[in-house]
Amino acid sequence: MKNLALAYLFAHTLYFLSPTVQANTCVAIAGQRLDPSNIYDQRHQCATCQGQAAQPKLCRAINRVMVPYWSASADLVAIPHRGLWGMPMNKGPSENTLAAFKAAAKAGYQIIEVDAALTGPDSTGKKKVFLGRYFSMAAVGGSAKKLPSDYTPEDIVQFKMRKRDQTLSTDPGDRLILFSELLPWAVENQVLLMVDPKTPEDSGPNEYEQIVAYVLNEANAQGALANIGIKTTNS
């Protein structure tokens, strides 16, 4: 009997999965039963059946991304961009806010895209990552001549993101938040955060890499590495 292999492309890497039935084929996805160790790096939360059972919602969401459904007529994974926001325009949550992420989770989404950018340095000279993509503070009711990098992390979180109709928000859930503040919520709700690093055109050297490093280090410190995906360019 000829051996069969399923080949799939993910993150520019070619993997080959054997359909051989084993006792630990606990992943049911894309019309197959698979061993998670054949899908994940061995260090990942979801790489074992025990890990899958401990974080079922999170692992099911990542499984859905990792294993394409080749025999389906369409293979789509819905990921709310910057959360679920802007509906209705002057009342719904603002983009990239905790309120928008909570709305997405309430609607049943386990994967959420978030934008991440750097603040200015704090009193110790360290920058932090906040959730946002605009580089004019006018987007949050501040001066159009100011950038997020002009503010400390403590100052950034005092601003609120405008509503979709561009009116200023008074809702507490619409304030800018630091990435470190989002992680406990993501872990508690088993949400995968697809992080999109944002840098201004005149950004300093290695700013993109600084954002990625901060995101991974902070996630590691909070035991949330399994909750992180990084959107990267081909380069």
Query: Which pLDDT score is estimated for 113?
Result: 97
pLDDT at 119 > cutoff 60: yes
CB atoms within 10 A of CB 145: 9
User: Between helices 98-106 and 179-188, what is the axis angle to 10°?
Assistant: 20
pLDDT digits (tens, 9 = 90+) for 153-188: 999 999 999 999 999 999 999 999 999 999 999 999
Which is it for strands 192-197 and 228-230: parallel, antiparallel or unpaired?
Answer: parallel
Residue 143 neighbours by CB under 8 Å, 6+ apart: 137
- For residue range 15-68, list pLDDT tens digits in order: 334 444 456 899 999 889 999 999 999 999 999 999 999 999 999 999 999 999
Q: Enumerate helices (H) and strands (E) in the chain, giving the number of each.
A: 6, 8
In the prediction, which pLDDT does 234 show? Answer: 63
Spell out the domain ranges in the chain.
6-66, 98-230
Give the pLDDT score at 203: 75
* DSSP single-letter state for residue 163: P
Question: Mean pLDDT over all residues of the chain?
Answer: 88
89 CB-near residues (< 8 Å, 6+ apart):
163, 164, 165
Q: For the domain with range 98-230, which CATH number is right: 3.20.20.190, 1.10.10.10, 3.65.10.10, 3.40.50.920?
A: 3.20.20.190
Distance CA(27)–CA(24), nearest Å, equals 8
> Does residue 96 contact residue 133 with C-beta atoms inside 8 Å?
yes
